[in-house]
Amino acid sequence: MAYVIGSECIGELDSSCVDVCPVDCIYEGLEKRYINPNECIECGACMSACPVSAIRGGLNDLPDPVWMKDNTDFFAEPLPGRDAPLGDPGGATTVGPVGVDTPLATNVARERS
């Protein structure tokens, strides 16, 4: 199971997790980061680097199913203002900041502000 970034990341775009990811699978939305489940090699480097403990995964730290679906939706569903899903572009640096979040992350960010 790929690692998942939860709600603790909303508003916290520290790049510590990105810096340690050996396969460049952590993408930046507007307010939150997302791990591509098809590109993640499940090494766990991001989990220990996260300053807000937002990353879950592995057998002993199962992610919340709501955020697991949200993380998958970031890549599998068209994001607001886009015609097609992001899919599996093969690395976050080739894409750069996406500039938009999933509807769930957007709603949570609004509630917090």
pLDDT at 57: 87
Q: Strand, coil or helix: what is 90?
A: coil
Q: Is 22 helix (H, G, I), strand (E, B) or coil?
A: coil
What is the average per-residue pLDDT within 36-52? 94
Task: Dump pLDDT digits (tens) for 2-42.
Answer: 899 999 999 998 999 999 999 999 999 999 999 999 999 99
How many Cβ atoms from other residues are within 10 Å of residue 12's Cβ? 14
Domains of the chain with bracketed CATH: 4-112 (3.30.70.20)
To the nearest whole percent, how much of the chain has pLDDT over 90? Answer: 87
